[in-house]
Amino acid sequence: MQRFKSLLPQARFSSRSLYSHPRPFSAQPNYAQRNDDEEDPQNQILVQGRAKSRAAILNRPSSLNALTTSMVARLKRLYDSWEENSDIGFVLMKGSGTAFCSGADVVRLYHSLNEGNAEEAKEFFKTLYSFVYLQGTYLKPHVSILNGRTMGCGSGISLPGMFRVIFSHPEAQIGFHPDAGASYLLSGLPGYLGEYLALTGDKLNGVEMIACRLATHYSLNARLAWLEERLGKLVTDDPSIVEASLSQYADLVYPDRSGILHKIDTIDRCFSHDTVEEIIEALEKEAAEFLDEWCLTTLQKIREASPLSLKVILRSIREGRFETLDQCLVREYRVSVRAISKNVSSDFVEGVRARMVDKDFAPKWDPPSLKDVSEDMVDHYFSPFDELEPELVLPTALREPYM
């Protein structure tokens, strides 16, 4: 327990997220239901004006607030204008319904790719990563209230803020990779917890995010309305005053003994290895030697994932340990474009089909096993583009990331 107490947030962050309910983040979004009002770009992102702040509300509740290109573009325009407006002291983001954000609308991307429209998918990633960089360099306090499910790039648009909270990254199970700055954030977690989360898609609850310093404040759901009322009345641009208001409604919590953080020593032993094959071998050894059911469950999660994605993900997290936020986003953009191009593999399309569209949960991965994934395949995902494919360009000369 002492190890976890030492991980509790002590330093100030330049942006804040608040976790308000210990709900698990394992359920997959239901993209089948559509609401015509929700598909109006203006209605997808609502705005609330307050005394000295503005709130952006993700508003596609029937799709668990899954992100589209138009939503992210509107968020970027809003955040740009709010940063320039001297009458606005701080900004806030939250979701409507039962989720904060379930990540990208991957089913929409799936249909675009099947229709041969890869450019639409590229535009989504370019817009998303540019917005994440804007948040990672934002000059005003930014509060994210994550009251409900938060997955994939949903964490990417909330974590580069001042007060932050919780995420789950199940991308390996759909043949993709943790993106939107995830390789930067996951690689900075204690020990090799980032590798574990990225390769298994396992989730952390709000208490565990506090212990890992990915969250700054934890509040029970019953306090949320009071907290929002308090924030709405603030007339300030001082981060310390915003933080004090959040702390006023925060609860002191410690990780449960049955939680994943109490497996941190096993995680470090197993996930510190250089290759996915060695990680699997270490887990098998732990399972056999200690009759550890957790190791068996972890092995099952890894074996269900795309073999190619597993190798790409491990390399991405390892490279993220030595890169800045902007460097991680540029690299992630290359990997994302390669994943949707189908030049090496169609695992992303196949993974979305199996888990989100047909829901047979029986993807046919290609390559089908780790031994069939060559180094050249993995290298291709990370190599710079040629002159026909532009790289992601971020305004690093104008906006230097503080993360």
Angle at 351 between CA 45 and CA 376, to 5 degrees: 110
pLDDT digits (tens, 9 = 90+) for 67-126: 889 999 999 999 999 999 999 989 988 888 877 877 778 888 888 888 888 889 899 999
- What class, spelled out in words, does domain 41-381 have in CATH? alpha beta
pLDDT digits (tens, 9 = 90+) for 307-334: 999 999 999 999 999 999 999 999 999 9
pLDDT tens across the length of the chain (403 residues)? 444 333 333 332 344 444 443 333 332 333 334 444 546 667 889 998 888 889 899 998 888 888 889 999 999 999 999 999 999 989 988 888 877 877 778 888 888 888 888 889 899 999 999 999 998 888 888 888 877 777 777 777 776 544 444 456 667 777 788 888 888 888 888 899 999 999 998 887 777 777 777 777 777 777 778 888 888 888 888 888 888 888 887 777 676 676 788 888 999 999 999 999 999 999 999 888 888 888 999 999 999 999 999 999 999 999 999 999 999 999 999 999 998 888 888 888 888 888 888 898 889 999 999 999 999 999 999 999 988 889 998 988 777 765 5
Which DSSP category does 260 fall into? G
pTM (two decimals): 0.84
Separation CA 346–CA 365 (nearest Å): 8
Going 229 to 209 to 65 to 43, the CA torsion angle's sign is positive
Q: What is the DSSP string of 69-103?
A: HHHHHHHHHHHHHHHH-TT--EEEEEESTTEEE--
Separation CA 234–CA 140 (nearest Å): 14
| Per-residue tokens: 264 | 């941190």
| Cβ–Cβ under 8 Å, residues 88 and 55 | no
Per-residue confidence (pLDDT) for residue 116, from 0 to 100 = 86
Helix 106-114 / helix 118-136 crossing angle, nearest 10 deg: 150
